[in-house]
Each structure stands twice: as structure tokens, then as C-alpha cells.
Chain A
Amino acid sequence: MKLRTCAAIAVLMLAGCSRPSKSPALPAAKAFGAAITEVSGGKQIGGIGTALDQPVVVQVNDAQGSPVAGVLVTFQLAGGASATPDAGLTGADGQFTTAVTLGGSSGRYQVVAATHDKSGKAVELRLDEIALGLEQTQGRVLNDRYCSRCHDPESTPERVSNHDNLNAKPHAFIEGAVLNAMSDADLASIIGHGGPALNKSAEMPPYGYTLSKTEVDSLIAYIRAVADPPYRLKGLTYARN
């Protein structure tokens, strides 16, 4: 009798010790897909620690490429970034939408959207999001003011691009294929002394007498931050841990 009481108390105590699991149980998948594709929300640029302006939307397709509803999609982020919600079932259109908040350091954050196909094999989609720190943010503001009028070929009603009016077409700052090959010193030189400093067009004027060295450095930091493909030497990719 004594033993039984003791056992009952022990069981009760143990039950009291167990914590409720932190995250609610994942919903059960009602279907499986063969591939995940990005609908929108990749390669967004935001300040460190901020929520991205646009949601990340992914779509799960079957082997024939048509969207599948009810597939369980999970999101994994590293480096302090997060997605809300970080898991759920795709809707009737086969899509799942989540809001991403960037981590506290500047750099690239990889959003990994994952699901399983029928055989249990993992299917993944990796998207990059870009977080700008103080230096890159300053570069971004300077870019908007001085550079983007010629370097950004996109015209908006608010800002008409001068890109097409130039003989030598300026490189957009996301053109990593070209700009990653240039060293920091080269970039500082062409920004500071103009195109002729690197035997390029005089249509690129010198900004070394207008911008301070810190400002030129911040522009370079911004150019490195937004390069696509990413600039690998500096800055960090927060891959899945």
C-alpha cells in the first residue's frame, strides 16, 4: 500500500515537472508535393532586425508542375532571423505565405522552405534575404541620391532613369557577375576619380570631391551587400545551422 502511494506521488511529481512543449504540434500533411518554387519575396533588402516589407510566398507543385494544396511546408532560418508562421499547410492555390524578420547582423539570411515528397525525401527551396547594417544603410541612401539615377535602369513615374541616355551603360549594383570581380580599391577609385581612372567612360563623374572617404566606403559596402550572385569575400551567408 505504502509503495503504491509512493509510486503515485512520484508519477504525479514527474508529471508536474514535464513542461508543455514550446511549439504547437505541426499540422498533419494532407498531401505531398514534388517541388517548391518561389512565388515572391526573395532577395528583399531591409534593415537589420526589421520585418521585410513583402511576405515570402512559396508554392508546392507536384511532379507535373501543378500546385498541390494541403502540403506541410516548414521554414528554417538561422542567425536570429525568423519566419511567422514557420510552418503550415499550403492553401487551395498550393501557396504558403509567411512574414520574415531579419537577424541582428548585416549580411544575407537564407530562408529554407522545406517539405517532403511521398517517399519521405526532403524537398527544399533556398531564398536569400539581405540585411543592411548602419554602413550599408548609409550606402543605400547615398545610392538613392547620387547613383541610382544612372545605375538603376528601372524608371518609375517618380524617378526617371537616365540609364538609357548614356553611351556606356552603367552596371546596376546587383550585377555581381561584373562587380564582384572588382576589388574594393577599384571601386573606391572609380567612385572617387570617375570612369577614366579605370579607363572607363568619362560619363561616370568623380565623386571623391563630393563624398567623404567614409561615404565612399559605405557605398562599396552597399554594392557588396546587394550583389547577385553574392559577394563572397566579405559579409556572411547565414546558412542553415
Chain B
Amino acid sequence: MPGKIRAFWQFLFGDSARAFGTLSVVLVVCLAIAPAKDTFREWTRYQWKYQSLIRGRGEAATLQRRMQHGLQQIWMPELGVTDRCTTCHLGLKEASLSDVPTQPFRPHPPIPHSLTEFGCVMCHRGQGTATTVEEAHRSTLAWEQPSLPARYLEASCGQCHWDSLTATPQLNLGRKMLARYDCVSCHVLKTQDGRRMASTTDAPDLRHIAEKTSREWMFAWLKNPQAYAVTATMPNFNLSDADARDISAFLVSQSTPYLSGGAAPAKVDAGDAAVGASVYGESFCTSCHATVNAAGMLVGNDVGPELTKVGSKVKHEWLVEWLRNPKTYDPDTAMPHYRFDQKMLGPLLGFLEAKTDSDLLGNVHLDPATPAQIAHGKALVTERGCASCHEIEGVKKPDNFAPELTVVGSESLAKIVFAPGVAHTLPDYLAAKIKQPHTFPGSKMPQYAFTPSQTDALVTALLAQTERARTLPPNLRVAGKAPGNYRPAGKAAQLIADMNCFACHAINGRGGDMAPDLTWEGSSVQRRWLVAFMKNPNTLRPALIRRMPRFNVTDAEAETIADYILAVYQTPDFDRDAIDATKFTAADVEQGKQLFYSKYACQSCHILDPQSDKGYIGPTLTQVGSRLSAAWIFHWLKDPASLRPGTLEPNRNMSDADARALTAFLMKQNKEVAKK
């Protein structure tokens, strides 16, 4: 054995010439290592693979010509982003490669941005400068943010966009939920313009709570709000029986009577629940409130609280006063003042009070509260942050109760305490925190009852809150609609507040979107119709289930509000009286009729003649000539969205002559239909 080694040694280094030759070979090999390593890098392998992929294809020459060899880079100095993703993702702009099953060579789906202007990591995250698969997509010791899972991609749009894009329903829902479920009452979350996002839920004022409901109900509610109403927005705080008992004791103790002067409430007896059901229906309570019907289906809207078990909750005297005028109890409530008369009030009371659930309070037996329990209750209310959402006597609204969420979407993983079993990524942490907050040590966060898609939406909205979003160059920021602060004036303003028109209608950028925007309503309608409509709103849009309720206003009130609308809410773009409907000729009307039924086929969405027309997407036009002004109809036909942004009516690009003839025909529809 040693003999052989000696012979080999002799062979390599036997004399100086051999030694020189051997060392030269070793040196050449050593020098070759660096270029070889460079040649066999991971990304060069992908470039070779791409070349062999395109070689066999019909458009190989074009693809070959467009292929960029070597390391590629997109550099956006103003964003501080350098992307080398296009080094391997070579087919991003090649639509003809859409049959390639997987990345890295698939084309990018169409998006409203140029890839070279925005790069990749702005939306997909990951490490743009990396040139290996592992470092670019996954988190490493040096890079915490892996590429964003596809299910949360809309978060990236939200970094620049606050304008509620059509293409990002998940992000929009998430942002709505942050405000609706009061996340932003405990957490500070600042939007693009540095303003704190405001809650859209009017959590009840608890300073007079004992007038409204019993301690037993409070106990049951605190234990599990969703047992009372599946749609309840209040989360479950996982309170023990003793804690719920003490909190309810404290809430009762801090409650004061709300009717000043101690006037005895008027007595109203509950009437026939069956009659009440029709009052409930005719008053369109379902436009805001939901109930579970006999078939177990939830029917109605989620603006106000669900009323399925309301009879087990509210006290009789409170309900009487609330239905009479809700503003007495809560001046800021969204509930309109309905002006119910005695004949409606009794049955409605009967109907609502019959909506009970014997199981809800059946097992709740509370002994009278002791001072110790009340003190403990107060401590719990302070500790759990109840005053972040509710007004409570003697407990101040806490500042910075929960961690700020303004840049939570780029939170450093090193700062996060992960619960056991949660994957160490930011989206997984956020989802787990929302789904099971109690598994995180020391977490004060309550348990919400969200569906998986709601959780996804919330995580998406939170992931949009990045440090990059906060420091974007101003030209990249797309602002959302600023909340309107328009306030009407005078006597009409009191009526508008009383009936809470803004809950459903928007005027000058303020208000809801459940009902038509009334900003230019004064240019639209005729006074006689408006007064009659305020008195008794008839059905304009048969397919809608959310309808304008009857507020039982007096003649004088109806006239006050109609006069205000007609005088103030006029568009500056045209004069409402500019077109005189009496000047139209019979020929105009006839031509308009032809256009209505044949060229524009308006009857597919509108009912003009109830005998023959069936479409019920748009408003009924049987009496449109006595409802709208001729100038409004003309300008509406020309460009509906300019008068009411977001209307469903499509712009038909109508000529002036067509619009005029149609206006003539529609203004002719002015016969009062005999009341049935």
C-alpha cells in the first residue's frame, strides 16, 4: 500500500518539471471555480429552462428576441425598491405563454399598473434583490417578509388606494369591518391622511341602561352576545359567571334615569301582535332591523340591532318611550322618530314584546348585588376596556387601550409573540389573533364570531397598513372619499335630524347609500308630488325590499321639508324650469313613445303601462310626468351618472332630439292614478 502512494507522489512531484505541471493544473482548476460557480447559479438555470421552453413554440423567434439575458433589475428609487424577480420570471409580459401551468414562466394576469413602473415586491412582497428562489420568496434570517399569499393580495392595492376599488371587494369589506366591529375603538388605526379611522357602529350609551333592560338580560348578553342575536357585533369576552354577574351589578349601579324631571311615562297597553306585524311591515322596519322568521331565515338589514328576541330584552316602559321618540333616550341614535299614533303604537308594542325566547333568561338567577361585586364589576369594566366603545358613568374612555395598528402590516416578526401552533408569518399571526385571541398569552382581545371569509377580509385590510404605505410619495396616494360634514339649516334641519334622513340618503357627500342621493333632488321633483310622498311614500322601485318608511309627518312638516329640498338641493348645471312641458307637440310625444318602446326598450327595466310593461329594476314611470321636472328628465336621459353618481341607469349616449322626444312622452304620464 505505502509503495503505491509513494509511486503516485513520485508521479506528481518526482522532479521539478512534474511538480510545476501539477501545481499549474491545480491553479487552473482553482481559478475556474469562480466563473463556474457564476455560470451554474440558480437563476441561470431558470434562464436555460426558459430558453428550452420557448424553443419548441410557434412564436419562438419573437420570444427569443424579447428575452432579456443576464441578471435583470427594476429600480424604483422614489420607493426604495429594487426588484430582480424578472431575472427568472421571464414570461411575465408574454401573453402567448398563458398555457404554461406554473410560475416562473407564466404571463402576469392583466392589472391596471405597468410592471416596470411598480415592480413586483410592491404587491407581492418578498425580497426583491435576492437572486435565489429561497431568499426571494421565503423568510430568511436577513429578511422577514416572505412573499404574500395570494389570498391576501388585495392588501397590496390598499397600500396606495383608499378609494374603495371595484376590483378589491375583500379589502373593502375588511376596512368596513374594522370600523363596523369597532376594532378601531380600542386600536388606533390611522388612514393615509394621518387621520384616525372612526368607528361606524354606534355602540349603545350605557349610562341609563337599567331603564332599558334587566340585569338578567345583561348577564346573558355578556356571557354570549351571539346567543341573543346571531348578528350581534359585540364580541364574546369569555367572562365567567361571577364576572358577568359583577359587571351587570356595576352597570345597574351606575345607571341613572334618562327622563329628566321624573315625569311618569305615559301608559300604553300592548295591542294585537298580528296587527303589530303589519305595522312593522308597513313601517319598513326591515330596512334596518332583521328578525329570524319561522323558517329560520334571517330577514332584514343590519343597520339596527336584530329584533328576533327583543321581547326578552327591553322593558315595557322603555320600549313605549323609544317607539314614541327614540331621541329622548339617545339624541344621537340612528333610529328615526316615527311619530306613531296610539293605534299603531299598541299593536307594534304587542308584536315586539311577543318576540321572546324563554331559554335565554330561563336559567339566570341573580341575587341582589353587594358593594364588593359592584366594585369588582367596575374594575372589570375598566380592565376589559368596555368604555372604549360604550359611554359608562364613572369610567373614562381609555387612551391607547390596545396596540396601534397603523403599520401592523409590516410589523417585525421579532416583536411578535406567537401562540403555540401558529406558523411564523405575519398573515398567519393576524388570522390566529382574530380567530382565537385567547390562545395568546396576556391578550385582552375578545372573541369575534367571524366566518373564514370575514377573517380573510380583516387580515387583508390589516396587511395593507404597512410602513411603506405610510411613507409613500404623495403622487402615489389615492385618497378615499372624505366623510362629509354637510349640515342642513333651519327648521328643515330639525326634521332631517329627527327622521334621520342621512341614515339612508346622502346629501352633499354626507350620508348612507341605501337610498338615492338627494344632493340635486330639488331640481328633480315637483312640489305637489314631494309633499304627498313625504306624507305617504308610495313604492317607486318594486324590486327593492328596503323602502322608505312612512314617518307620519303632519302637512306642515311635509311642506317645510319639501320647500327646503326644492329651494336648496338644486344643481347649478341647469334650471329646473328651463323646459316647458306644455310646449311639446303630439308628434313629439308619439316619437318619444316609439323611442321608449323600440329603440331604447325602456320597458325592460321600467313599468310605464302596468298592463303591458313588466320590468322592475328602475322606478315605476306611470306618473313620472307629475313627479319629475321636464329639465331633469332631459338631463337625466343625457347623462344619468352626472346627476346621481353610481346610478344603475346606463348612459345611452342619447342625441338631444331623442332625449327631447322621450321627455315629451314621459311628461305626458301625469294622470293621477285612482287610489285603490
Return chain B residues, CB-CB under 8 Å to A20: none
Taking CB atoms and an 8 Å cut-off, the chain B residues in 596-654 that contact chain A are 598-601, 604-605, 614-617, 641, 648, 650-653
Taking CB atoms and an 8 Å cut-off, the chain A residues in 24-80 that contact chain B are 47-51, 53, 78-80
Is A228 at the interface (CB under 8 A from chain B)? Answer: no
Nearest CB of chain A from residue B653's CB, rounded to whole Å:
5
Question: Complex formed: what's the CA distance from A241 to B152 in Å?
Answer: 26
Return chain B residues, CB-CB under 8 Å to A51: 151, 452, 456
Is B98 at the interface (CB under 8 A from chain A)? Answer: yes
Return chain B residues, CB-CB under 8 Å to A78: 101
Return chain A residues, CB-CB under 8 Å to B616: 160, 162, 165
Cβ B604 vs Cβ A234 within 8 A: no
Question: Complex formed: what's the CA distance from A132 to B106 in Å?
Answer: 16
Cβ B150 vs Cβ A141 within 8 A: no
Is B14 at the interface (CB under 8 A from chain A)? Answer: no
Is A186 at the interface (CB under 8 A from chain B)? Answer: no
Return chain B residues, CB-CB under 8 Å to A159: 543
- Using known A-B contacts A158-B545, A203-B601, A217-B110, determine if residue A53 contacts B453 with beta carbons closer than 8 Å: yes
Cβ A141 vs Cβ B101 within 8 A: no
- Using known A-B contacts A135-B167, A236-B99, determine if residue A104 contacts B149 with beta carbons closer than 8 Å: yes
- Using known A-B contacts A160-B543, A202-B600, determine if residue A210 contacts B150 with beta carbons closer than 8 Å: no
Is A100 at the interface (CB under 8 A from chain B)? Answer: no
Taking CB atoms and an 8 Å cut-off, the chain B residues in 415-472 that contact chain A are 452-453, 456
Nearest CB of chain B from residue A66's CB, rounded to whole Å:
31
Cβ A234 vs Cβ B101 within 8 A: no
Nearest CB of chain A from residue B234's CB, rounded to whole Å:
25
Question: Complex formed: what's the CA distance from A166 to B166 in Å?
Answer: 28
1/0 per residue, CB under 8 A from B, across A152-180: the answer is 00000111101011100000000000000
Return chain A residues, CB-CB under 8 Å to B152: 49
The one of B101, B617, B652 that contacts A236, using a Cβ cutoff of 8 Å? B101
Question: Complex formed: what's the CA distance from A235 to B598 in Å?
Answer: 38
Total number of B residues with any Cβ neighbor in A under 8 Å: 45
- Using known A-B contacts A160-B543, A202-B598, A205-B601, determine if residue A146 contacts B106 with beta carbons closer than 8 Å: no
Return chain B residues, CB-CB under 8 Å to A162: 543, 604-605, 615-617
- Using known A-B contacts A48-B153, A162-B543, determine if residue A210 contacts B601 with beta carbons closer than 8 Å: no
Is A138 at the interface (CB under 8 A from chain B)? Answer: yes
Question: Complex formed: what's the CA distance from A151 to B550 in Å?
Answer: 33
Is B2 at the interface (CB under 8 A from chain A)? Answer: no
Cβ B545 vs Cβ A157 within 8 A: yes
The one of A53, A202, A205 that contacts B650, using a Cβ cutoff of 8 Å? A205
Is A214 at the interface (CB under 8 A from chain B)? Answer: yes
Nearest CB of chain A from residue B226's CB, rounded to whole Å:
20
Question: Complex formed: what's the CA distance from A106 to B599 in Å?
Answer: 39
Total number of A residues with any Cβ neighbor in B under 8 Å: 52
Is A238 at the interface (CB under 8 A from chain B)? Answer: yes
Return chain A residues, CB-CB under 8 Å to B615: 162, 165-166
Cross-chain pair count, CB within 8 angstroms: 118
Question: Complex formed: what's the CA distance from A215 to B166 in Å?
Answer: 9
1/0 per residue, CB under 8 A from B, across A220-232: the answer is 0100000000000
Question: Complex formed: what's the CA distance from A138 to B166 in Å?
Answer: 6
Nearest CB of chain B from residue A133's CB, rounded to whole Å:
5
The one of B103, B106, B111 that contacts A134, using a Cβ cutoff of 8 Å? B111
Cβ B153 vs Cβ A206 within 8 A: no
Cβ A214 vs Cβ B149 within 8 A: no
Nearest CB of chain A from residue B647's CB, rounded to whole Å:
9
Return chain A residues, CB-CB under 8 Å to B112: 214
Return chain A residues, CB-CB under 8 Å to B453: 50, 53
Using CB atoms, name the residue of chain B closest to A160.
Answer: B543
Question: Complex formed: what's the CA distance from A215 to B112 in Å?
Answer: 11
Using CB atoms, name the residue of chain B closest to A133.
Answer: B109
Of A104, A142, A150, A201, the most chain B CB neighbours within 10 A belong to A104
The one of A134, A164, A215 that contacts B109, using a Cβ cutoff of 8 Å? A134
Cβ A203 vs Cβ B604 within 8 A: yes
- Using known A-B contacts A138-B167, A162-B615, determine if residue A205 contacts B652 with beta carbons closer than 8 Å: yes
Nearest CB of chain A from residue B412's CB, rounded to whole Å:
24
- Using known A-B contacts A49-B149, A50-B456, A214-B112, determine if residue A105 contacts B604 with beta carbons closer than 8 Å: no
Return chain B residues, CB-CB under 8 Å to A105: 102-103, 106, 109, 150
Question: Complex formed: what's the CA distance from A209 to B652 in Å?
Answer: 7
Interface pairs A-B: 6 shortest CB-CB: A49-B150, A49-B151, A104-B150, A138-B167, A165-B614, A209-B651
